Amino acid sequence: MTMPAPNPEMTIGRQGHYAGAASRLVAFGADVGASWGLYTIGVALFDTFFHLVTRRTYSLTNHQILAIVILVVWEFLYYTYQWGVSGRTIGMAVFGLQVVTVEGARITMRQAALRTLGLALCIATLGIGFLGILYQRERRALDDLVAKTAVVYSWDARAARLRWMARTENPHQSAFPPRPSHVHPEERTAAP
Amino acid sequence: MSPNPIGSRMEQLAQSLAERIVPMIIDAIDINSIIEKVDINQVVQRVDVDEIVSKVDVEAIIDRVDIQKIIDRVDINKIVEGIDIDALVEQTELGSIIARSTTGIVTEILDVIRAQGVGLDDFTLRWANRLIGRGKKIADWPVGPPLCVPPKAAS
């Protein structure tokens, strides 16, 4: 099975451009899911390990304040570490996004930490902080403004195009069947 | 032959004299010393190479060359043996391209999803602009950070 080739203007031509709201929102959603999933797995593993070592049952769900503190610390580490190391989280990597400085260079760990705090601020403002992605000149949300960063499209689109060409026998042939031409029903019946 | 018999004789005499004298003169001349005195660079500078080339029918020369005969003489296998393929792959992006080109369907799906995300971003931005009546004012906005997008496109 070969997927239809994406438009090169939408892939290769957009690398390094400021990323838009839809991609960033979906990537953020994926990150919320990923971080929450990893947290749940971590808590379950901790409970099991604690039970194996002490032969006592200890569940974090029974200690809500501690659970929230751990969750907040975990979320901070999840975003800060990933942004600081590679400029992208799991969700951003999936959707081909990267956090860079306003000039376009790699961000520092300090900027990553500031951006995570800015993200918390965006959530605290019930999402109003995200509106900058739609209306700010450089598509920068509140977290970007705090950390002096921007989000750009960044995936290896050229390799993707080569990959598609390698998998397709005739790269110039469209993956979709030709659209039927508009022929009048009478003409269609008259044809031999 | 000249109709005048004296003229004919003179002509023969001149011919025979020339045949004897000219080789003697040529032998006497030191060609190397003359060549040494000539400033070849100056001569070359005065030659209009473009004009000479324009007069040459390159197509006709190429037509006369038997390319197949030349190719037959070349030992391709020996040339290929001499190439260090590993070094070539290391020095170029071929290795990474080959590796990436052989990955599975999941990455292909990702490419499509990302491209569709870009389309959706454009759609969202267009509608957001319409909502606040900004229209085409954003046309001169930068498309990306200066280090990521060449300055011409960024302006």
High-pLDDT (> 70) share of chain A, %: 80
- Choose between B135 and B17: higher pLDDT: B17
- State mean pLDDT over B93-109: 65
Q: What is the pLDDT of residue A128?
A: 92
Worst-scoring range by mean pLDDT, A167-171, B13-17, B78-82? A167-171
Q: What are phi and psi of A98, to 5 degrees?
A: -145, 140
**Residue A97, SS3?**
strand
Do B114 and A155 count as a contact with CB atoms less than 8 A apart? yes
Rounded Cα distance, B33 and B149, in Å: 64
Chain A residues within 8 Å of chain B (Cβ atoms): 1-4, 6-7, 10-11, 14-23, 26, 94-96, 100-105, 134-135, 137-138, 150, 152-153, 155-157, 159-160, 162-164, 166-167
Tell whether the torsion through CA atoms of B122, B123, B126 and B132 is positive or negative: negative
Q: What is the pLDDT of residue B76?
A: 82
Q: Tell whether B127 is within 8 A of chain A (Cβ).
A: no
**Residue A100, SS3?**
strand
Give chain B positions within 8 Å (CB) of A134: 124-125, 128
Do A159 and B112 count as a contact with CB atoms less than 8 A apart? no
Write down the pTM of the prediction.
Answer: 0.61
Q: What are phi and psi of A18, to 5 degrees?
A: -60, 135
Q: pLDDT grade, residue A174 (50/70/90)?
A: very low
- Give burial (CB, 10 Å; 0-12/13-18/19+) of A112: buried
Q: What is the pLDDT of residue A190?
A: 44
ipTM score? 0.73
- Cα–chain center distance at A121: 19
Q: What are phi and psi of A88, to 5 degrees?
A: -150, 145
Rounded Cα distance, A184 and A178, in Å: 18
Name the β-bridge partners of A98. Answer: A152
CB contact at 8 A, A2 and B104 = no
Rounded Cα distance, A163 and A156, in Å: 11
Q: Tell whether B152 is within 8 A of chain A (Cβ).
A: no
3-class secondary structure for chain B? CCCCHHHHHHHHHHHHHHHHHHHHHHHHCCHHHHHHHCCHHHHHHHCCHHHHHHHCCHHHHHHHCCHHHHHHHCCHHHHHHHCCHHHHHHHCCHHHHHHHHCCCHHHHHHHHHHHHHHHHHHHHHHHHHHHCCCHHHHHHCCCCCCCCCCHHHHC
